[in-house]
A = this chain, B = another copy of it.
Amino acid sequence: MVEHTGLDIMCLNKHCHSSSSSSSSEPDKKVFSKLKLSLSDYPRKNAEILSGQYGTNVLLIGAALMLAQGPSIKQEHLLSFITGLMILQLIWMMWYILVRDRRKNTRTEKDVHATTCWIRGGLTLLALLSLTMDAFRIGYYVGYRTCLSAVIGVYPVIHATHTIAQVHFLWFHIKDVIKSFETFERFGVIHAVFTNLLLWCNGVRAEAEHFLNNYMRRLSALGYENFTIENSEPLCNCTTSTCTMFSSSLKYLFPFNIEYHIFVSAMLFVMWKNIGRTIDLSSNHKRLATKTQGLILGPLLGLLALGSTIGVLVVYITHLEDSLQTRQSAITMFYIYGIVMLVFMCSASLSGLLIYRADNMPLDTSKNPSRQLDTELLFGSSIGSWLMSWCSIVAVLGTNSSPSYRWTNFVYSLLVVLEKCIQNLFIIESLYRQPEDGARKDPELPAAPEICSVSSSLALPYNGIINQGYETPDMACVTIENKQEESGQVYTCPTKPPDVPLPVGNKVVKPPKIKRQILKNIAIFLLMCNISLWILPAFGCRPQYDNGLEEQTFGFSIWITVLNFAIPLNLFYRMHSVACLFEVFRQV
């Protein structure tokens, strides 16, 4: 029955010659396979383009509503639109989880590269912070409910439901390689991708607005310029005592909510790319985690970086409200700190690249949409901060004024460009390198085993899902992949983590092991540096607003536009490179 509903929707998109006329009295299985055959006639490329166009237009409608915020189009209109999209996604996810799972005869292949335990764990953490944010928003609405539109109360409720359902979906279905009903499911997935992307855009916009208002308030307080500051407070009094607490806590939760949505949309995009794909089983195995021996220097330096970052953040934010001279010294301090950090990061990435050059080996070129996307996102999100840096360099060279931080800004900006270039090279080469021979050719393990996920639930889909439900980083499930036949799949689930030494490096001579240790140290150091460089702009340390050099050269509105474009991309870059570096750390 339910299958038919799905198909009727499908028929809108294509010419259903024979499928819709087949009688429903036939056995379900036969009808189903027949329909599947006819549906798969619709060219995959077209379905891809059609759904891509749908998603892009949904995002653009949202963008138009955001740009139109003013007297005629209000916040409420935008929120209603986003709420509508979230409800649609909820319905689709429910359909997917409830209806698809009942069909025991559909096979669901899994793409093990699509995600890892720790990514899902991290996302769950971000989701929890998002839920806290929703709770605060509801509290805020309750306080001001007499003068706020109902939409502002409904939005966080739907958002919370959406978050919970989505995390469930991510845990149990994100690795699915969809093969049946392609067009309909493709639309659902792309809808989810762009809904999350729109939520990201909305978060970024709200955050930028908030930051800009703060900046202008600061400028007015210092008597520099006279801006009319928009009053974002509602027009009535709060009925509870916690309203200001809620609204001031919200700004610390914003960055996490923003990262949550962009990460989810990247993961869903990989799922979309996987639709209809035939997984090459030979390359569809995860690499083994290695032990963490000899990890001293990297984490130590990383912790040092992290500690000093928090120090710099506190000093910067407290000094910013002070006199002109204190401001300038805070900005100078930031640039010197940045230069030291970036020099260390450049050297670390460079040494990593040199180690790779020392033992050249061919790169892994097998198809892997997840890795491909990682590469493209690293490259694409670098563009934001590259543009910002080049603008700073042009401003430094073109300006007539000479504040104390003029040339440190110049060096800092050059280093930002250089560091991103080298780090991208290092991360991408690391992701594309084939696993060491020791890991592959070890004769003690029959084939590439898999830890932390049940890779394919061919014959026992329900079982597989239950298994995954209890799957945690501590309880590893090893599936022997080469025996994946429909009749019998071998599950080897030890009740505690395998204490036997992992095979990587067992049969390898010393030097590579040392190299791997160095690489691991580099990866962990870079990871912590990137976290540091994420924390600073995320929590308000943005000297690009405060130093005044660029604003002088470019003018206020152009420079703010550049920053509104570049800073969110840069934040995403840092978070994304943390995720990639963790992957590198695990793989080396």
Interface residues of A (CB under 8 A from B): 14-15, 41-46, 49-50, 52-53, 56-57, 60-61, 63-65, 67-68, 70, 72-73, 77, 354, 357-358, 360, 362-363, 375, 379, 382-383, 386-387, 390-391, 393-395, 398-400, 417, 421, 424-425, 428-429, 432, 552-555, 557-558, 561-562
State how many angstroms separate the Cβ of A350 from the closest Cβ of chain B: 12
Q: Which residue of B lies closest to A353 (CB)?
A: B46
**Dominant SS among interface residues on chain A:** helix
- 26 A-B residue pairs with Cβ-Cβ distance under 8 Å, sorted by A, are A42-B360, A45-B363, A46-B428, A49-B379, A53-B382, A56-B379, A57-B386, A57-B421, A60-B383, A63-B387, A64-B393, A64-B394, A67-B558, A68-B395, A68-B553, A68-B554, A70-B553, A70-B554, A72-B398, A72-B399, A72-B400, A73-B394, A73-B398, A73-B553, A77-B398, A561-B561
Partner of A49, one of B56, B63, B417, B425: B425
State how many angstroms separate the Cβ of A365 from the closest Cβ of chain B: 8
In whole angstroms, how far apart are the Cα atoms of A272 and B126 in the complex? Answer: 40
Known contacts A68-B398, A70-B555: does B390 contact A421 (CB below 8 Å)? no
A63→B390 contact, CB < 8 A = yes
In whole angstroms, how far apart are the Cα atoms of A182 and B562 in the complex? Answer: 35
- Taking the full assembly, how many copies of this chain does it contain? 2
Chain B residues with CB under 8 Å of A360's CB are 41-43
Q: Which residue of B lies closest to A62 (CB)?
A: B390
State how many angstroms separate the Cβ of A137 from the closest Cβ of chain B: 25
The 5 A-B residue pairs with the shortest CB-CB distance, nearest first, are A72-B398, A64-B390, A15-B357, A64-B391, A64-B394
A72→B553 contact, CB < 8 A = yes
State how many angstroms separate the Cβ of A565 from the closest Cβ of chain B: 11
In whole angstroms, how far apart are the Cα atoms of A383 and B53 in the complex? Answer: 9
Q: Which residue of B lies closest to A393 (CB)?
A: B64
B46→A425 contact, CB < 8 A = yes
B387→A64 contact, CB < 8 A = yes
Known contacts A43-B363, A379-B52, A399-B72: does B425 contact A386 (CB below 8 Å)? no
State how many angstroms separate the Cβ of A493 from the closest Cβ of chain B: 37
Q: Which residue of B lies closest to A559 (CB)?
A: B67
Additional 12 contacts, C-beta under 8 A, given A63-B390, A64-B387: A43-B363, A43-B432, A45-B363, A46-B429, A49-B425, A53-B424, A57-B421, A60-B390, A64-B393, A70-B553, A72-B553, A73-B553
Chain B residues with CB under 8 Å of A358's CB are 15
B49→A424 contact, CB < 8 A = yes
In whole angstroms, how far apart are the Cα atoms of A383 and B363 in the complex? Answer: 35
In whole angstroms, how far apart are the Cα atoms of A60 and B392 in the complex? Answer: 12
Q: Which residue of B lies closest to A557 (CB)?
A: B557
Chain B residues with CB under 8 Å of A42's CB are 360
Chain B residues with CB under 8 Å of A73's CB are 394, 398, 553
Partner of A60, one of B44, B63, B386, B558: B386
Chain B residues with CB under 8 Å of A554's CB are 67-68, 70
State how many angstroms separate the Cβ of A194 from the closest Cβ of chain B: 13
A57→B15 contact, CB < 8 A = no
Known contacts A68-B395, A68-B398, A554-B70: does B429 contact A56 (CB below 8 Å)? no
B561→A60 contact, CB < 8 A = no
State how many angstroms separate the Cβ of A475 from the closest Cβ of chain B: 36
In whole angstroms, how far apart are the Cα atoms of A50 and B379 in the complex? Answer: 10
State how many angstroms separate the Cβ of A65 from the closest Cβ of chain B: 6
Chain B residues with CB under 8 Å of A43's CB are 360, 362-363, 429, 432
Chain B residues with CB under 8 Å of A417's CB are 57
In whole angstroms, how far apart are the Cα atoms of A421 and B57 in the complex? Answer: 10
B390→A61 contact, CB < 8 A = yes
In whole angstroms, how far apart are the Cα atoms of A360 and B44 in the complex? Answer: 12
Q: Which residue of B lies closest to A14 (CB)?
A: B357
Chain B residues with CB under 8 Å of A552's CB are 72
B15→A429 contact, CB < 8 A = no
Chain B residues with CB under 8 Å of A49's CB are 375, 379, 424-425, 428
A394→B65 contact, CB < 8 A = yes
State how many angstroms separate the Cβ of A196 from the closest Cβ of chain B: 18
Chain B residues with CB under 8 Å of A428's CB are 45-46, 49
Chain B residues with CB under 8 Å of A354's CB are 15
Q: Which residue of B lies closest to A420 (CB)?
A: B53
Partner of A363, one of B44, B70, B393: B44
Partner of A383, one of B41, B56, B362, B393: B56
State how many angstroms separate the Cβ of A388 from the closest Cβ of chain B: 9
